[in-house]
Amino acid sequence: MRKLKLAVLGASGAVGREMLRLLEEYQIPVEELRLLAGPNSAGTKIPFRGKMHTVRCADEESFAGLDYVLGASDAPVSRRFAPAIKQSGAVYIDNSSAFRLEHGVPLVVPEINGQDAFTHEGIIANPNCSTIITLMAVAAVHRLSPIRSMVVSTYQAVSGAGVQGLRELEDQLAAWVQGQEAKPSVFSAPIAMNLIPMIGGELDGGYTDEEMKMQNEGRRILHAPELTVSCTCVRVPVMRSHSISVNLWTEEAVSVDEARRAIAAFPGCRLADNGRPTPLEAGGQDLVLVGRIREDLTRPKGLSLWCCGDQIRKGAAANALQIMKLLEEV
Amino acid sequence: MRKLKLAVLGASGAVGREMLRLLEEYQIPVEELRLLAGPNSAGTKIPFRGKMHTVRCADEESFAGLDYVLGASDAPVSRRFAPAIKQSGAVYIDNSSAFRLEHGVPLVVPEINGQDAFTHEGIIANPNCSTIITLMAVAAVHRLSPIRSMVVSTYQAVSGAGVQGLRELEDQLAAWVQGQEAKPSVFSAPIAMNLIPMIGGELDGGYTDEEMKMQNEGRRILHAPELTVSCTCVRVPVMRSHSISVNLWTEEAVSVDEARRAIAAFPGCRLADNGRPTPLEAGGQDLVLVGRIREDLTRPKGLSLWCCGDQIRKGAAANALQIMKLLEEV
């Protein structure tokens, strides 16, 4: 691979820092690295390949001469800088939700629809974390027979709320062990020893934007414009891996054995040896672990399964770097 | 209510102790109370109404002259003593799974099928905890139009594994806060900061006995012999309230507003004010909290909802005492 000139936008957050760790782990050749963030994080020092790098305040001039900008910011920041990035000629691989449903912006999970990445016009969107992990688990089944609908319940780690989400769970658990009260600040209720059955903002009909991503983004990634997904997103007191309980229905029946074989052979997936993968096992690596594959009991042509994946890695940073590798290695 | 002569079989466990607390809280008139358990727990002292009572080793002679035996033992112990209890003339309200599917043994949630309790021939079975909580949440919808099928994912507290499950989570969290490793003993994997996506023993087809209770017991309680339920049971690091994500389909369409009104009016249920009840809020009281009521997006005539209930109370001890009150207060 050629040596790349890269920027990470939102470098000081949980996903930005993971992108830097993964650039090291994947041994991506880097000629130049710019760490960019908002004014509050400017000056932060972050190690990369043995040297400390200083985060600088992003502005419209920050992107000149780059090959890629890896976006780890939120959607408003992404929208603000996208025109400047596009103008600079860098390819913008954006982890925010800003452009995921935009025409001309491919929404890519490399193992599923990698070919879509090559149609980009300067921006490639990285899907929602729960959506990536769920679709990785079911994509092999979708290739056997198209998925028509899914009922999904998530068990989402606190890392989905960034560094502050991680710290809030740690602090609340420490308080709980000492018999003190856990005061919520990032989340709407205590998360230690508790569950919060709503993630994201509520839309008409009662679903949240987070819940609708599974259907809206799933349709684009699977090339299945008629796909319907009924999703319930739940925050659980787990650090960094999301888990998802899925029931799905296909056009033609797929047996449990067929599904098991196809999932085992799908790149980026692993069938759990004991059939019941846990989020702890999924943490710190890129594979999506799948288990509990059963026939759905409510309707014909249905399957039920469980999957776990590291939210910060395959759910975000790893998927973004995999998109970059895909574009570079062709 | 007349003064009752009662025994609690399995008095030293989490459910047995809760039965004693609830006899106090509900101000049930008690003339005589016998605390019974296996030989390992004999001699344990448990307070009741300000006096210490000693747990005695249960044998076939333990039940003479009683009005009710409240069963908080496991299924093998229940099976062993059921003939002696029946012969004694006491009514046996059994929280174990031993007789739940047996002909002639009503399986009762008082708010749903209380009338069934009066058909008993000496034994009344208390349903599975997740099943009670789920059915409490959906029973009002079932009265509007019969439920044909449900897809269910549970978020089950460690109290479902008894006092030892509660202690294992506490110990693992204390270890985690001190940076030590959490060693599993009651559960098959660490439960602190983790999820375990299998509860109970695996049957043919990959479902567990725990998962099939939702269908098998649901059919009897709802008087819906054709009901199909596809259930995934997951242990979560929560102390004592189970939560359940439910998608259900009815014979005729029920609107979200109709469902909301019916659930709000159903005895034993409460709609959460903010629409998203948490297991912490459900703990320490008997109401099942319901929220996130939405139209299912995958098929017509479907609804999606979320519910939480105290597993030790409404999921076990409270439901058993409510059955006894029902029989006494007529």
Q: What is the ipTM of this complex?
A: 0.97
Mutation site, A151, A246, A257, interface B, largest B CB count within 10 A: A151
pLDDT at A183 exceeding the cut of 90:
no
pLDDT in the model for residue B183: 86
Q: Does B250 reach chain A within 8 Å, measured CB to CB?
A: no
Pair of tokens at residue A32: 């130049």
Query: What size, in residues, is chain A?
Result: 330
Q: Does B139 reach chain A within 8 Å, measured CB to CB?
A: no
Nearest to B19 by CA among B323, B309, B321: B321
Contacts (Cβ under 8 Å, ≥6 apart) of A34: A6, A7, A8, A56, A62, A66
Tell me which chain A residue has its CA closest to the CA of residue B230: A297
- Do A292 and B174 count as a contact with CB atoms less than 8 A apart? no
A287: DSSP letter:
P
pLDDT in the model for residue A218: 98
Q: What is the pLDDT of residues A208-236, one digit of tens each?
A: 999 999 999 999 999 999 999 999 999 99
pLDDT in the model for residue B302: 98
| The dihedral formed by the CA atoms of B180, B184, B188 and B192, expressed in degrees to the nearest 10 | -50
Residues 167-196 of A with CB under 8 A from B: 173-174, 176-177, 188-190, 193-196
The three-class DSSP label of residue B2 is coil
pLDDT at A76 exceeding the cut of 80:
yes
Nearest chain A Cα distance for residue B232, angstroms: 7
How deeply is A1 buried, as exposed, middle or buried, from its count of CB atoms within 10 A (0-12, 13-18, 19+)?
A: exposed
d(CA B127, CA A193): 25
Nearest chain B Cα distance for residue A158, angstroms: 10
Q: Does B280 reach chain A within 8 Å, measured CB to CB?
A: yes
Tell me which chain B residue has its CA closest to the CA of residue A272: B197
pLDDT at A330 exceeding the cut of 80:
no
- Per-residue pLDDT 10s for chain B (330 aa) are 899 999 999 999 999 999 999 999 999 999 999 999 999 999 999 999 999 999 999 999 999 999 999 999 999 999 999 999 999 999 999 999 999 999 999 999 999 999 999 999 999 999 999 999 999 999 999 999 999 999 999 999 999 999 999 999 999 999 999 999 888 999 999 999 999 999 999 999 999 999 999 999 999 999 999 999 999 999 999 999 999 999 999 999 999 999 999 999 999 999 998 999 999 999 999 999 999 999 999 999 999 999 999 999 999 999 999 999 999 986
Strands A123-125 and A91-94: parallel
Place of tokens 């963030």: A37
pLDDT in the model for residue A181: 84
H/E stretch holding A125 reads strand A123-125
Nearest to A214 by CA among A185, A239, A247: A247
Q: Which residues of A touch B279 (CB under 8 A)?
A: 194-195
Q: How far is CA A298 from the centre of its chain?
A: 30
Which active-site residues of A does the annotation give?
129, 242
B24: DSSP letter:
H
Where in chain B are the domains?
4-127+316-329, 131-311
Residue type at A62 in one-letter notation? S
Residue type at B222 in one-letter notation? L
Pair of tokens at residue B272: 């959460």
Comparing CB atoms, the residue among B153, B176, B197 nearest residue A173 is B176
pLDDT in the model for residue B109: 98
Band (pLDDT 50/70/90 cuts) for residue A12 is very high
- Do A292 and B229 count as a contact with CB atoms less than 8 A apart? no
- Residues paired with residue B48 on neighbouring β-strands, in sequence order: B51
- Tell the CATH topology of B4-127+316-329: Rossmann fold (3.40.50)
Q: Which residues of A touch B171 (CB under 8 A)?
A: none
Comparing CB atoms, the residue among A193, A245, A292 nearest residue B237 is A193
Q: What is the pLDDT of residues A131-156, one digit of tens each?
A: 999 999 999 999 999 999 999 999 99
How many C-beta atoms surround the C-beta of residue A164 within 10 A? Answer: 13
Nearest to B103 by CA among B131, B87, B79, B123: B123
Give, in degrees to the nearest 5, the angle at Cα A125 between A124 and A129. Answer: 150
Among residues B120, B129, B231, B233, the one annotated as catalytic is B129
Pair of tokens at residue B261: 């009104």
Pair of tokens at residue B315: 């999921």
Strands A269-271 and A302-310: unpaired
- Residues paired with residue B46 on neighbouring β-strands, in sequence order: B53
Comparing CB atoms, the residue among B195, B276, B294 nearest residue A238 is B195
Q: What is the pLDDT of residues A56-70, one digit of tens each?
A: 999 999 999 999 999
- Do A297 and B230 count as a contact with CB atoms less than 8 A apart? yes
Tell me which chain A residue has its CA closest to the CA of residue B272: A197
Q: B172, B239 in Cβ contact below 8 A? A: no
Average pLDDT estimate for A15-21: 97
d(CA B272, CA A88): 51
d(CA A58, CA A98): 18
pLDDT at A165 exceeding the cut of 90:
yes
Q: What is the mean pLDDT of chain A?
A: 97
Nearest to A157 by CA among A7, A313, A268: A313
pLDDT in the model for residue A199: 98
Q: What is the pLDDT of residues A244-270, one digit of tens each?
A: 999 999 999 999 999 999 999 999 999
CATH code of the region B131-311: 3.30.360.10
- Residues paired with residue B94 on neighbouring β-strands, in sequence order: B71, B125
3-state helix, strand, coil in chain B (%, to 5): 35, 25, 40
The number of helix segments (H) and strand segments (E) in chain B equals 9, 14
How deeply is A204 buried, as exposed, middle or buried, from its count of CB atoms within 10 A (0-12, 13-18, 19+)?
A: exposed
Comparing CB atoms, the residue among B188, B236, B296 nearest residue A195 is B236
Q: What is the pLDDT of residues A29-55, one digit of tens each?
A: 999 999 999 999 999 999 999 999 999
The three-class DSSP label of residue A135 is helix
- Do B198 and A292 count as a contact with CB atoms less than 8 A apart? yes
Residue type at A145 in one-letter notation? S
